[in-house]
Amino acid sequence: MRHLLTTHFPAARQVIALLTLLAIMPANAETPQAEGSAMHEALPACPDAPHCVSSLEAREDKYVEPLRGGDSLTTAEARLVSVLDNQPRVDWTRIEAGDATHIHAVFRTRLMRFRDDVDFWIQPDGMIQVRSSSRIGYHDMGANRRRVEQLREALETAPPATE
């Protein structure tokens, strides 16, 4: 015999699952990058928690290869913006930073609408340093690494940008 609560209130099962998930996930102590604020020349280091990857990390478990956007800052930025504009549930902001460009993007997960911060540091030679980190939780189940690899694939298959 089914439990009375889940039989008469089918959504209760989902609410109970959500509350259980939120109860076991500690809040991320890291403060996300404020939209439009100045960033340092390098991306922030990843915290010790396993919910972050970066192309500037020395720790092997957090390292991802930088992205290649083109042969110049202008080309790389145009291609990256095109890729971001074609991603679902993403908002981004461009930040001028001397001879490089920073783009801060916020990705929202499909089901729970969790926000993940992704920072891109586009260098004059078209190389894109990247950092992707979850705002909440301890583990991300590899979501940030998968996101960076999906962005890499999208950049590789994106049509060439015109300068």
Q: Which two tokens stand for residue 107?
A: 């990705």
In a domain, 51, yes or no: yes
Residue ranges of the chain with per-residue pLDDT less than 50: 1-2, 5-6, 18-40
In a domain, 144, yes or no: yes
Whole-number average pLDDT of the chain = 80
90 burial type by CB count under 10 A (0-12 exposed, 13-18 middle, 19+ buried)? middle
Question: Would you say the pTM of this structure is higher than 0.95?
Answer: no
Write down the H helix ranges in the chain: 4-8, 10-24, 73-85, 143-157
Quote the domain boundaries for residue 142: 45-157
pLDDT at 32: 40
**CATH number for the domain including 53?**
3.30.310.10
| Residue 93, strand partner residues | 104
